[in-house]
Structure 1
Amino acid sequence: MSDKNMLEKLAKIDEQLFLSVFSDASPRWLRNTALGFSKSGNGGLYLVLFVCFWWLSEQSHYQLLALSLLLGFAIERPIYFLAKKRIARTRPCDCLVQGAYLIPSDKFSLPSGHSAGAFVVATVMSYFFPELTGIWLVWASGVAISRVVIGVHYPADVVIGAAMGASCGMLAVILVEYL
């Protein structure tokens, strides 16, 4: 099987997975929950976390945490923007279905920036507060899944975004802690 055929087959599977999750007739509670998770990944929470930990930075632990968050995003954002422009995958709400629960800020879907950002935060926070790892991973997964539920991303978009964000978060922790 050629690479092109393999990619087409994977895209079809991704479309079918999307269609099994997204429904323009989702119950109100699911739609509202997904929108809440999605909004928590818009970036405001990240800024609040950074400012809080920087403010507490008299303790070196919090300063390292704030620097790790900042560096994680400094690594992730350029990769995200380059990949998004280069891949230019059309969002499912623009080509596969109608009725997404929000209007996305751009027209391309791969990778999911919300998923990437949430997993940067979850990875960094889990390193510094390992006892809260489950909470951070549930939240980040909720952000990622919400993007499919509300109709603006395919499942592969969020999986790739999550892997990218987690990798950038770990790299940031390694650079800040060990160099």
Structure 2
Amino acid sequence: MNDNNVLKKMAQVDEQLFLTLFNYNSPAWLKTAALGLSKSGNGGLYLLMCGAIWWLSTNEQYQLLPITVLLGFVIERPIYFLAKRSFARIRPCDCLVSNAYIVPSDKFSLPSGHSAAAFLVAIILSHFFVQYTWLWFSWASGVALSRVILGVHFPADIMIGAIIGSSCGLLALALVVPV
């Protein structure tokens, strides 16, 4: 099997998985939960959380959290925008199904910016608040999955977004937090 056939097969699996997760007959509670999770990854929550921790914390270690998140986004955003333009993958709601439950902010789907951001923040929060690691990654996974359920991303988009975000979060931690 040559490389072209492998990529075609992967795209077919990705499309089939999308069609399994994005279902017009999904229960209302699932659409509502997906919408809420997706909105929690829009960016406002990150600013609020970092501002509150910086403002309220007297712990010097926690004072590094907002700086680390900011640096993580300074690293991640250019990678995200470069990848979006380079891959230029059309969103599933524009090529595979007739509509999505939300209107995406741009026309390309790969990588998922919501997934990248959520996993970047989850990685950093897990370093500072280890006891809640399960919560941070459950939330980030929910944000990522919501983007497929709402019809604006393929599963591969959210996986690649999660890898980009996690990598940028780890790099930011390595650069800011003393060992």
The interval holding the TM-score normalised by the smaller chain is over 0.9
- Once residues 35 and 113 of structure 2 are traced to their aligned partners in structure 1, the CA distance between those partners, rounded to angstroms, is 15
- Once residues 49 and 71 of structure 1 are traced to their aligned partners in structure 2, the CA distance between those partners, rounded to angstroms, is 15
**Which amino acid in structure 2 is aligned with residue 18 of structure 1?**
F
CA shift at 1:59, angstroms?
2.8
Q: How many residues align?
A: 179
Q: Which residue of 2 aligns with 1:79?
A: 79
**Which amino acid in structure 2 is aligned with residue 157 of structure 1?**
D
Q: Which residue of 2 aligns with 1:13?
A: 13
Q: Which residue of 2 aligns with 1:147?
A: 147
CA shift at 1:57, angstroms?
5.4
Q: Contact (CA 8 Å) 1:102, 1:150: kept in 2 or not?
A: yes
**Which amino acid in structure 1 is aligned with residue 36 of structure 2?**
G
**Mapping of 1:126-141 within 5 angstroms?**
126-141=126-141
Q: Identify unmatched segments of 5+ residues in structure 1.
A: none
TM score, norm. by length of structure 1: 0.96
**Mapping of 1:50-61 within 5 angstroms?**
50-56=50-56, 58-61=58-61
CA shift at 1:8, angstroms?
1.2
- Once residues 164 and 154 of structure 1 are traced to their aligned partners in structure 2, the CA distance between those partners, rounded to angstroms, is 16
CA shift at 1:6, angstroms?
1.4
- Once residues 148 and 12 of structure 1 are traced to their aligned partners in structure 2, the CA distance between those partners, rounded to angstroms, is 15
- Once residues 118 and 173 of structure 2 are traced to their aligned partners in structure 1, the CA distance between those partners, rounded to angstroms, is 15
- Once residues 152 and 25 of structure 1 are traced to their aligned partners in structure 2, the CA distance between those partners, rounded to angstroms, is 17
Q: Contact (CA 8 Å) 1:144, 1:158: kept in 2 or not?
A: yes
Structure 1 stretches of 4+ with a deviation exceeding 3 A read none
CA shift at 1:140, angstroms?
0.3
Q: Identify unmatched segments of 5+ residues in structure 2.
A: none
3-state SS in 2 of match to 1:49: helix
Q: Contact (CA 8 Å) 1:91, 1:108: kept in 2 or not?
A: yes
CA shift at 1:58, angstroms?
4.3
**Mapping of 1:1-179 within 5 angstroms?**
1-56=1-56, 58-178=58-178
- Once residues 177 and 39 of structure 1 are traced to their aligned partners in structure 2, the CA distance between those partners, rounded to angstroms, is 29
CA deviation profile, 1:2-52 (whole Å, cap 9, x unmatched): 222211111111000001110122111000000000000000001111211
CA shift at 1:63, angstroms?
1.7
- Once residues 84 and 57 of structure 2 are traced to their aligned partners in structure 1, the CA distance between those partners, rounded to angstroms, is 34
CA shift at 1:66, angstroms?
1.0
**Which amino acid in structure 2 is aligned with residue 71 of structure 1?**
L
TM score, norm. by length of structure 2: 0.96
CA deviation profile, 1:52-107 (whole Å, cap 9, x unmatched): 12213543112211111111111111100000010000000000002310010100
- Once residues 75 and 165 of structure 1 are traced to their aligned partners in structure 2, the CA distance between those partners, rounded to angstroms, is 9
What root-mean-square deviation, in Å, do the aligned CA atoms of Structure 1 and Structure 2 show?
1.2
- Once residues 71 and 53 of structure 1 are traced to their aligned partners in structure 2, the CA distance between those partners, rounded to angstroms, is 16
3-state SS in 2 of match to 1:145: helix
**Which amino acid in structure 2 is aligned with residue 151 of structure 1?**
G
- Once residues 72 and 40 of structure 1 are traced to their aligned partners in structure 2, the CA distance between those partners, rounded to angstroms, is 18
More deviation, 146-155/50-59? 50-59
